[in-house]
Amino acid sequence: MEISRRGFLAVSSLAIGAACAGDLRLRAQEAPATKFQDLRGGAGIFTGRGGTIGWVITRDNTVVVDSQYPDTAKACLAGLRSRAAHPIDFLLNTHHHVDHTAGNPIFRPAVTQIVAQRGEPALQRRYAVQTSTTATQVYPDTLFDTDWKMVLTSETVLAHYYGPGHTGADIVVTFQNAGVVHMGDLVWNRWHPFVDRPYGASIVNWVTTLGQVTARYPADTIYIFGHAKPGASVTGTQADVLHFRDYFTAVLDYVRRGMERGQSKDEITKLDVLPGFEDFEAPSKTLTLGAVLGVAYDELNAKA
């Protein structure tokens, strides 16, 4: 699913965050294309504008992961209601970025609980204050520290916090019986990702998380990704998750070698293509390999 390139215009970390996480502009009078796709075991995805929505429908229950924007959230909610007559039990937010939470007000009347990691609401509130959007926020009301579990009819939904990654409060959501795992923005399939360091991100721990996730689940697990470059899929396999992990490992290795040689941040971030990862593209003029290398430099330099 392609993020509009018009949204990535500002250069400050806040503006970049707003662009990536949600201030993504559609062209005038252009409605986003929306699509439902079944995966297996009652689970599926919805693509529209923003991070990929995951869902699972059982005989008696519906659970949704992430909510995109109000316009596409309405389309998603309508489609889910056409697939299941019963209410939506839970909406889980994988993290605070607006392309995953701005649809919360649309889902709120229909859902029993909105679930997130305990640190998520503070990040969402902080961003809302900085962007003057507090009046439009709907926050998660069911919070957990490390693990959340709900046993439903024919399905068990699990959420786990592995520590800081894309932000400081990302979660991974599992539809256990279906064998489907929603990664949120912990995977950007073949795209240089947004690393929200001002909001708690850690590339070092992100690498650890991706390894832990793939070690936890069977080889035939279907993974849902937050974003993917045009032509790539927002779902994939263990190999895709590990490829993204290896991309970050290569980023860290490149930056460490540069620092050991005494290179400056400007010198290190001049690299346009990461060897071995030529299949990665830049979503925008600001979300580039150089931007990722710069965040990695800041993180490693702070630890030095």
> For the segment 2-57, what is each residue's pLDDT rounded down to a tens digit?
333 333 323 334 444 554 544 333 333 356 899 999 999 999 999 999 999 999 99
Note whether 268 and 259 are within 8 A (CB): yes
The model's pLDDT over 54-87, given as tens digits with 9 standing for 90+, comes to: 999 999 999 999 999 999 999 999 999 999 988 8
The pLDDT value recorded for residue 31 is 66
Q: What is the pLDDT of residue 1?
A: 37
- The per-residue pLDDT for 86 is 87
CATH number of the domain encompassing residue 118? 3.60.15.10
Q: How do residues 276-300 score in pLDDT, each as one tens digit?
A: 999 999 999 999 999 999 999 999 9
Q: Which of 183, 185, 182 is nearest to 167 (CA)?
A: 185
Read off the pTM. 0.91
Most distant CA pair in the chain, distance:
63
pLDDT above 50 for 213: yes
Sequence-distant (≥ 6) Cβ neighbours of residue 34 within 8 angstroms: 46, 47, 48, 72, 75, 76, 79
Q: Are 16 and 288 in contact, with CB atoms under 8 Å apart?
A: no
Quote the Cα angle for 276-277-279, to 5°. Answer: 130
141-194, pLDDT tens digit by residue?
Answer: 999 999 999 999 899 999 999 999 999 999 999 999 999 999 999 999 999 999
Residue-number span of the structural domain to which 257 is assigned = 5-303
Listed residue (100, 80, 45, 3) closest to 222, CA to CA: 45
Which tokens go with 278?
A: 């030529």
Q: For the chain, how many structural domains are there in total?
A: 1
Which pair of structure tokens corresponds to residue 74? 């309405």
Lookup result for tokens 């957990």:
144
Q: Phi/psi of residue 105, each to 5°?
A: -60, -30
For the chain, state the CA radius of gyration: 18
Query: 139 near 128, Cβ under 8 Å?
Result: no
The confidence score (pLDDT) of residue 11 equals 30
